[in-house]
Structure 1
């Protein structure tokens, strides 16, 4: 393997790295992303969906007991649930330009913290997790979360990093 090149600085594109960090937009994008991950399939049965309970348990008057119309009413064991959860969608729509602004703000926040590393010609001829782990060791980022963005589809880089819990490859 070739020697590691001497680190230096590069000029970041002005269109992407203008230095502004919009925290409310980032918050909106993250909250929408997390909400869109939810399944929303929690469900309980209300009294009309519980099987049984068609017959009145006892007559209306004359027994001394409270009047009851169904054994599937909520006060009965085995009865339906009052105001229980029903399946619903938690999806939140975020416009494309707002998502792009949130992504740009996240890049700017990382650039402001000097937490960006750029590696030129980053590709593997075969998927090897050990090679990617060795690279992360040399960069001293093994104990931090790492996002690897590649120019185009690089399946060997993806396969090398998918088994590492702190590495996410796009």
Structure 2
């Protein structure tokens, strides 16, 4: 499975063979949905919390005697029936939204998305994805020359940890940078175009062969 490699001026400079296991997998929408749902749920931060009747302060004394007043019976002013009382079935910080998915399924979903992206011509390889300085202007110029319209929504994958690329990409809307080992289903689905440094493919293959 071969793919063309381009330079930063969008000129074809060669080809690279892609690993069939990673870029030749079948499209599995159900598995991708499961992996995506698990990733989003596991990154969820639970902040909402409503106090129940046992957590609301006050209300220890019975508001009035049980019989003889003509009014309805009540045992505490912190009952959910009262203004300022506890909340029935409200959200709590203890609620757990995490979902489990095993490593093989997560990898299979990732390979499925990468293969679909390749089939739909949404993956591009550059011979070099490196910046000498962490300047947004330099990255914007490079992307404009090498990607053109693709830069509107692009995930950049340099071969190794490149702080200059990461820092420069933060200021460009619709652009994000990730290392090959940090690729995930959510970001692959979020960004339309995936731009690899050609050496990142070998890093990706080595990483997933080591985690089999």
| TM-score, structure 1 normalization | 0.90
SS class of match (2:46): coil
Gapped regions of structure 2 (runs ≥ 5): 1-6, 179-212
Query: Which of 132, 150, 165 pairs up with 1:157?
Result: 165
How much does 1:19 deviate?
4.4
Q: Matched residues in 2 for 1:28 and 1:67: separation?
A: 50
Give the whole-Å Cα distance in 2 for the aligned partners of 1:3 and 1:83: 57
Residues 1:122 and 2:133 aligned together? no
Cα-to-partner distance string for 1:93-123 (whole Å, 9 max, x where unaligned): 2211111111111110110101111011221
**Of the candidates 64, 89, 102, which is equivalent to residue 58 of structure 1?**
64
Distance 2:104 2:158 in 1: 22
Shift of 1:53: 0.7
1:4 aligned onto 2:9? yes
Superposed displacement of residue 3, structure 1: 7.2
Deviation at 1:142, TM superposition (A): 2.8
Whether 1:43 aligns to 2:49 is yes
Query: Which whole-Å deviations, capped at 9, do the CAs of 1:35-63 have from their partners, x for residues lacking one?
Result: 11211232111111111111111111111
State how far apart, in whole Å, the 2-side matches of 1:104 and 1:43 are: 38
**For this pair of structures, how many residues does the alignment match?**
168
Aligned counterparts of 1:116 and 1:3: Cα–Cα separation in 2? 15
Q: What is the match of residue 99 of structure 1?
A: 106
Rg comparison, structure with higher value:
1
Displacement after TM superposition at 1:11 (Å): 2.9
For 1:42 and 1:102, the matched residues in 2 are separated by 31
Q: Secondary structure at the match of 2:113?
A: helix
Structure 1 stretches of 5 or more lacking a match? none
TM-score normalised according to structure 2 size:
0.74
Please tell me whether the aligned partners of residues 125 and 156 of structure 1 are also in contact (alpha carbons under 8 angstroms).
yes
